[in-house]
A and B are shown apart, each in its own frame.
Chain A
């Protein structure tokens, strides 16, 4: 009983189905696609929208708070999937528990949690972010940000971390992929799946495990220390993040996990030549192998590079990319709810699809001026989505060639 799957996938075949052994040739005009229907669906007071992303834990969709009309993101997780992930259910419960107690403008907010026992689903309604630092890096030239922009985000990261540490929370998985951005350029630390709440009364930040991303792990974790300072783990990861944002590289790499960890523990830190000396001292301080020598967050915050004003010399890497406005995705869902949507249903064939693909390719090879036309929301959607509209599995007599 999976209702999320688009129910309107179908394929039309002219040839006889009996000939199961032959590979049939199907004209591209005979493969008909139906755009996925955007069915209006409510979870609590939230109207569901398009999918924003997918992770090992589940998917994230955009949604709209029907009382305030504010855009939100909703993380949808299935109990069944969680059970298959080591500590999956535990991690989700911990994330919910942690986020409920946190409130800071640089930490992602959790607004609502819903459980649907019948469907075995957990919904987490969170702040809506248009993009993340990793996405921006992927899109940018040389996979790095202009110094002034990196500074702007790093300062916010430090502020968020400072708050988390003041509440006794160690994030343990700081990396560009977990740093999201709202439309007004606010950085939000997200994904508290492996974060840890320290015992506030103990007055120490000792932790024993860390399951964060390998590239951003400090030597004490890579080397397998039994007990280590939690706060300094976050400082290291934040240092790796800053290194990555400003140079486009990682401080330590390795062809496999073993090599990587070996390098993190033993290889001396190599600074990218082009960075200015002030930034180099900061990176060097944050990436000291010995946790006790590593800068504390406080020292990072008051470091010259953080306090200094950086001139806007280079062009900003925009949040949206070329002309992606990250528009609200709810409109078609509302339309299908409030207006009669049947008439608007348009079908298109594989042939048409290929044509439009070819056209788009031709145009993009030409000058940039013609590109505008093909970038309309309509053509874009058609180009991106169709593969998901057809399920080859359901037709036994047909195999993809």
Chain B
């Protein structure tokens, strides 16, 4: 890693522990590659902040490779800087170093929700964990929506979890401000520049691109998809042509959570299950359907209801984030005794796996290698 003099252009944020993270690449020791972001334009690294010996994640963009994306990255930095909420990502600092743009952010021990699913919960997260994550996401979205921001890319890989179980929403480079150019407008019409990465999560009204436009309730639809993604262990519409996915969404065939109450009736219907049950084929040409564990488990009716509400076809009838925070499925989290890390047991944060060896880079590297992170999607900060 070249150690070149950096020129700071961003304001330095103080971390919660009051350690100040300098806008200089000299202060960070890069350890291990975590994954690539933004279609290979950048990479995420685990690093140690030398003065404080703290783990950080560093997103490094190669400025030479960024074309139009540079604007989005700047948009992301500007947006994140204006926001302050426990469920929204905070960057400690960002700066350019030679041809690179560095964004320093906290290293989150459990990494992303989609990676948890990919590596440990291939048939989906347990319901309590799901409910806790959904609550935090809705809180984050409620805050964003109060600031007139539509996230537009709520998905498992943009949901990060720190070692204490705090859930943090990232991916704000896809976001848009309502009424940015025309103050009186309450809807947005522009198609997200990087929509192709998030098509499976996108709401039907966003995909329709008609004069109706879309608003913050588009994010709620994505929450419904995320619940299916994390609950089923795979995102709806996976592996089907995007045009078929579009048709399914516009014709209002909605995905659902797989469990004993939904899967057997499908199995009985035989091959044509998707069409016959009017339940989102596409949804779900899932491998997971055959699994025994799925046909034996049962999600609460509240969970099914939340998914159905969030996936309401007409945005005006879809609940808002605030309304969903009062939904039974979310209220149920108050009665839970455990915390998110307990429900994620036996998975432990990556940082804890290595703290035994205390700052031995190799160990961290090893544990990271075990979880194959070559998939760009699962680590899209």
Q: Taking A184-B188, A334-B244, A338-B244 as contacts, is the C-beta distance between A328 and B195 under 8 angstroms?
A: no
Q: Count residues of chain A with CB under 8 A from any CB of chain B.
A: 30
List chain A residues, Cβ under 8 A from B250: 328, 331
Q: Which residue of A lies closest to B196 (CB)?
A: A68
Chain A residues numbered 314-368 whose CB sits less than 8 Å from any CB in chain B: 318-320, 324-328, 330-331, 334-335, 337-339
B196 engages A326 (CB within 8 Å):
no
In the bound assembly, the distance between CA atoms of A219 and B270 in angstroms comes to 75
Q: Taking A69-B199, A69-B242, A327-B208 as contacts, is the C-beta distance between A338 and B189 under 8 angstroms?
A: no
Q: Which residue of A lies closest to B207 (CB)?
A: A69
Interface 0/1 of A107-133, CB less than 8 Å to B: 000000000000000000000101000
B242 engages A183 (CB within 8 Å):
no
In the bound assembly, the distance between CA atoms of A324 and B210 in angstroms comes to 9
B211 engages A67 (CB within 8 Å):
no
Q: How far is the CB of A65 from chain B (nearest CB, A)?
A: 9
List chain A residues, Cβ under 8 A from B275: 339
Q: Is B332 an interface residue (CB 8 A)?
A: no
Interface 0/1 of A60-89, CB less than 8 Å to B: 000010111111000000000000000000
B211 engages A183 (CB within 8 Å):
yes
Interface 0/1 of B353-371, CB less than 8 Å to A: 0000000000000000000
A185 engages B182 (CB within 8 Å):
yes
In the bound assembly, the distance between CA atoms of A25 and B250 in angstroms comes to 45
Q: Is B246 an interface residue (CB 8 A)?
A: yes
Q: Is A147 an interface residue (CB 8 A)?
A: no
List chain B residues, Cβ under 8 A from A337: 243
Q: Is B336 an interface residue (CB 8 A)?
A: no
B243 engages A183 (CB within 8 Å):
no
Q: How far is the CB of B95 from chain A (nearest CB, A)?
A: 29
Q: How far is the CB of A374 from chain B (nearest CB, A)?
A: 20
A325 engages B195 (CB within 8 Å):
no
Q: Is A178 an interface residue (CB 8 A)?
A: no
Name the residue among A128, A325, A335, A338 with the largest chain B CB count within 10 angstroms: A338
Q: Is A182 an interface residue (CB 8 A)?
A: yes
Q: Is A215 an interface residue (CB 8 A)?
A: no
B189 engages A64 (CB within 8 Å):
no
B196 engages A67 (CB within 8 Å):
yes
Q: How far is the CB of B159 from chain A (nearest CB, A)?
A: 23
In the bound assembly, the distance between CA atoms of A69 and B241 in angstroms comes to 11
Q: Is A136 an interface residue (CB 8 A)?
A: no
Q: Taking A66-B241, A70-B195 as contacts, is the C-beta distance between A183 and B246 under 8 angstroms?
A: no
Q: Taking A68-B196, A69-B195 as contacts, is the C-beta distance between A325 and B242 under 8 angstroms?
A: no
B210 engages A328 (CB within 8 Å):
yes
B247 engages A70 (CB within 8 Å):
no
List chain A residues, Cβ under 8 A from B207: 69, 328
Q: Is B349 an interface residue (CB 8 A)?
A: no
Q: Which residue of B lies closest to A312 (CB)?
A: B184
Q: Is A297 an interface residue (CB 8 A)?
A: no
In the bound assembly, the distance between CA atoms of A331 and B249 in angstroms comes to 11
In the bound assembly, the distance between CA atoms of A128 and B211 in angstroms comes to 12
Q: Is A264 an interface residue (CB 8 A)?
A: no
A326 engages B241 (CB within 8 Å):
no
Interface 0/1 of B225-264, CB less than 8 Å to A: 0000000000000000111101100110000000000000
Q: Is B126 an interface residue (CB 8 A)?
A: no
B211 engages A70 (CB within 8 Å):
no
A183 engages B209 (CB within 8 Å):
yes
Q: Taking A66-B243, A69-B242, A184-B189 as contacts, is the C-beta distance between A324 and B196 under 8 angstroms?
A: no
List chain B residues, Cβ under 8 A from A47: 243
In the bound assembly, the distance between CA atoms of A327 and B213 in angstroms comes to 10
List chain A residues, Cβ under 8 A from B241: 66
Q: Which residue of B lies closest to A331 (CB)?
A: B250
A70 engages B212 (CB within 8 Å):
no
Chain B residues numbered 179-221 whose CB sits less than 8 Å from any CB in chain A: 181-182, 184, 188-191, 195-196, 199, 207-213
A334 engages B247 (CB within 8 Å):
yes
B211 engages A328 (CB within 8 Å):
no
Q: How far is the CB of A335 from chain B (nearest CB, A)?
A: 6
Tell me which of B195, B196, B211, B246 contacts A320 (CB under 8 A). Answer: B211
A183 engages B247 (CB within 8 Å):
no
In the bound assembly, the distance between CA atoms of A330 and B184 in angstroms comes to 31
A70 engages B246 (CB within 8 Å):
no
Q: Which residue of A lies closest to B241 (CB)?
A: A66
B209 engages A71 (CB within 8 Å):
yes
Q: How far is the CB of A42 from chain B (nearest CB, A)?
A: 10
In the bound assembly, the distance between CA atoms of A128 and B190 in angstroms comes to 11
List chain A residues, Cβ under 8 A from B212: 325
Q: How far is the CB of B241 from chain A (nearest CB, A)?
A: 7
In the bound assembly, the distance between CA atoms of A183 and B210 in angstroms comes to 7
Interface 0/1 of B250-287, CB less than 8 Å to A: 11000000000000000000000001000000000000
List chain B residues, Cβ under 8 A from A312: 184
In the bound assembly, the distance between CA atoms of A69 and B243 in angstroms comes to 7
Q: Taking A183-B209, A183-B213, A185-B182 as contacts, is the C-beta distance between A69 and B190 under 8 angstroms?
A: no
A325 engages B211 (CB within 8 Å):
yes
Tell me which of A71, A318, A324, A331 contacts B247 (CB under 8 A). Answer: A331
Q: Taking A69-B199, A184-B189, A184-B190 as contacts, is the C-beta distance between A334 and B209 under 8 angstroms?
A: no
In the bound assembly, the distance between CA atoms of A67 and B199 in angstroms comes to 9
B211 engages A324 (CB within 8 Å):
yes
A70 engages B209 (CB within 8 Å):
yes
In the bound assembly, the distance between CA atoms of A330 and B190 in angstroms comes to 19
Q: How far is the CB of B327 from chain A (nearest CB, A)?
A: 30
Q: Which residue of A lies closest to B190 (CB)?
A: A184
In the bound assembly, the distance between CA atoms of A142 and B360 in angstroms comes to 77
Q: Which residue of B lies closest to A42 (CB)?
A: B243
A334 engages B211 (CB within 8 Å):
no
Q: How far is the CB of B189 from chain A (nearest CB, A)?
A: 4
A338 engages B242 (CB within 8 Å):
no
Name the residue among B182, B196, B241, B246 with the largest chain A CB count within 10 angstroms: B246
List chain A residues, Cβ under 8 A from B213: 183-184
List chain A residues, Cβ under 8 A from B190: 184
Q: Which residue of B lies closest to A338 (CB)?
A: B244
Q: Which residue of A lies closest to B194 (CB)?
A: A68
In the bound assembly, the distance between CA atoms of A325 and B242 in angstroms comes to 23
Interface 0/1 of A302-320, CB less than 8 Å to B: 0000000000100000111
Q: How far is the CB of A321 from chain B (nearest CB, A)?
A: 10
Since A184-B189, A331-B250 are in contact, a sample of 7 more A-B pairs with Cβ atoms closer than 8 Å, ordered by chain A residue number, is: A66-B243, A68-B199, A184-B188, A328-B209, A334-B243, A338-B244, A338-B247
Seen from chain B, the residues whose Cβ lies within 8 Å of a Cβ on chain A are: 181-182, 184, 188-191, 195-196, 199, 207-213, 241-244, 246-247, 250-251, 275
User: Could you pull out 11 A-B pairs where Cβ atoms are within 8 angstroms?
Assistant: A68-B199, A128-B209, A130-B210, A312-B184, A318-B211, A325-B211, A327-B210, A330-B243, A331-B247, A334-B243, A338-B243
Seen from chain A, the residues whose Cβ lies within 8 Å of a Cβ on chain B are: 47, 64, 66-71, 128, 130, 182-185, 312, 318-320, 324-328, 330-331, 334-335, 337-339
Report the 9 A-B pairs with minimum CB-CB distance, sorted nearest first: A184-B189, A183-B189, A68-B196, A334-B247, A325-B210, A320-B211, A327-B210, A71-B209, A325-B211
